[in-house]
Each structure stands twice: as C-alpha cells, then as structure tokens.
Amino acid sequence: MISDDLRERALGAYLGLAVGDALGATVEFRSPREIQEEFGVHRSMIGGGWLHLEAGQVTDDTQMCLALGGGMIAGKGWNLQRIADALAAWLRGHPPDVGNTCRRGIRRYLNDGSLEGPPSDWGAGNGACVRNLPVVLATLDDEEAFVHHTLAQAHFTHHHPLADAGTLALGYMLRGLLRGAGWSAARQVAATLVAEHPEFCFDPYPGRSSAYIVETLQTALHYFFNTDNFKDCLVGVVNQGDDADTTGALAGMLAGALYGVQSIPHAWISRLDPGVKRMIHAQVDALLAWNPSPQPTQDVGTLCLQSREG
C-alpha cells in the first residue's frame, strides 16, 4: 500500500518540479543582474519571459516529464518505444520550447527508429535529467530497474558520462528523500557524486546556472542544501537566471520531496496550470503503483499528453 506520507512527498516532488519550471521560466536566459534590475527579487508566478507565458504555464521541462510518465503508464511494463512515441507525439504538438539535444534525439528516432543516440558532447545538457522523475517514482522498490530505466530513457536523447552521473545522482537523492531518509542522506549522495566527478563541486558555489548538466545541478544543489524551506530554495535558484526554469524544476523536485506538497506556497500552487495539476495528481498515483513486470494495468491512456493534444 502507498502511505500518505510517500504520496505527499511524491506529489511535492512532481508539483514542485512544475512550480519551479513555471516560476523560473519568467527569467530564463536572464542574468542575475538583469533580474535584479527588473524585479528586485523575482518571487511571483506571473508568466511572461521569452516564451510570453501565461501565469502558471509550464514549459518543456514539465511537459517532457508528463510525456514520459504518460508513456510509462499507458501500457504494460517498461517499454522504451512507447516512451519514445509519447515524446515524439509531444514534439509533433509544437510545444512552446524544446531543447536542441532533445529535439535532435527525437528527430533521430523518427528518422531511423533508434532508441539510443551515440555518445556525444551535446549529451551533457540537462534535458534527460529533468524529465526522469516518473522513472524515480515508478521504481522506488527496485534499484536495478531504477538504474536501467534511468539510463535507457536518458540515452534516448542524451549520451554523456556527466549527464548519466548527474541524472543517477539526482535520482538517488530523490529515492532517499521520497522514502523519508532526509537531508543528510541526500547530502551524502551529493558528496559521492562530487568525489567521483569533481566537476560537480558546488561548495563554494561557482555561480553559473546554464543548461550544462554540471552547472544546472550545482545551482539546484547549492540552494537546496543551503535553505530550509521550499520557498527560499526556489527563490534563490530562479534568481540565478540563465536556465532558470530547469534549475527551478530540479530544485522544486528536491525541495518538494523533502518538505512535502504542503510546503509549496499557496500563491504559487494555486496559479499553476490546472490541467497540469490534474495530470500530475493522476500520474503520481499511477506511477507509485506501477508494476515493472508485465501485468494488466488500468486504462490510463487519457493521462498521456498525446491524447490531450488530440
């Protein structure tokens, strides 16, 4: 049975991701100084930004998560092709933005049907990492499946040792936080990541927040480990600017998993796109109950972005 506590943390992680994406999108690609000049401190869910979003609208980061999660729960067991088709359907729906490496990977699949791209320097972006939450939620009781499915879905678009390391480390942090292991267990995972790949060192914080997986994670981890509540963590992260929707999404996952869904400020969650909120609630329940062995599952096809866009 899924405990209320786990469900609250899982909802916190998934809604936290979407809130961080929507909050950060307002200042994506801006510098900290530009943000300060325009907003003082950016802390309101107001939309806008280079994508001219509505308040509470999310971007590719949340949408790819929903596509991947929808692909996982739309049929029986693990099926990377079903996930690839869900991501391809999302791309065909002309989303407001798509990362270049994600677009390249999905186009490759549409051209030749291959489910894994070749190792490439392009692969060190953050796109595969930010969409991995559904895999984490679905494999909490199965570490082997967690590692396999994480790398398989990541290599669909991103194939680089640093992206692999960062995506797995974030996943291990989330697995611990969702099961109540707390702050220090997550900090230990981060320390191991830095020991194995010193590029990721975030103390002292280098102050860059680009889409390079190293800088994205450094920013999310710096603010996550140096704040003690959801709001301060997210405000700190998004005011670093640059890839602010994605750093916001990663920090939102971590903070939501640690502090729980009740910790997300009402002023933010109440403005989040209601359709996205509904899909997240439905996916959290389905993913926590996901069974990796092929068993008949309930018909959850309506949870896919694919059918929503039809």
| Residues in contact with Mn ion by the rule CB under 5 A | 59-61, 243, 245-246
Residue 145 C-beta: closest distance to Mn ion, Å: 28
Query: Could you give the angle at the alpha carbon of 265 between the alpha carbons of 40 and 274, nearest 5°?
Result: 105
Residue closest to Mn ion, measured at CB:
59
The DSSP code sequence of 148-173 is HHHHHHHHTT---HHHHHHHHHHHHH
User: In terms of CB distance, is 61 or 285 closer to Mn ion?
Assistant: 61
Residue 139 is which amino acid?
T
For the chain, where are the E strands, in sequence order? none
**197: how many CB neighbours lie within 10 A of its CB?**
16
Could you tell me the end-to-end alpha-carbon distance of the chain, in angstroms, rounded to an integer?
Answer: 34
Residue 211 C-beta: closest distance to Mn ion, Å: 6
Residue 246 C-beta: closest distance to Mn ion, Å: 4
Residue 72 C-beta: closest distance to Mn ion, Å: 21
User: In terms of CB distance, is 18 or 189 closer to Mn ion?
Assistant: 18
User: In terms of CB distance, is 139 or 219 closer to Mn ion?
Assistant: 219
Work out the burial of residue 96: count CB atoms within 10 Å of its CB; fewer than 13 is exposed, 13-18 middle, 19 or more buried.
middle
User: In terms of CB distance, is 246 or 283 closer to Mn ion?
Assistant: 246
User: In terms of CB distance, is 60 or 285 closer to Mn ion?
Assistant: 60
Residue 105 C-beta: closest distance to Mn ion, Å: 16
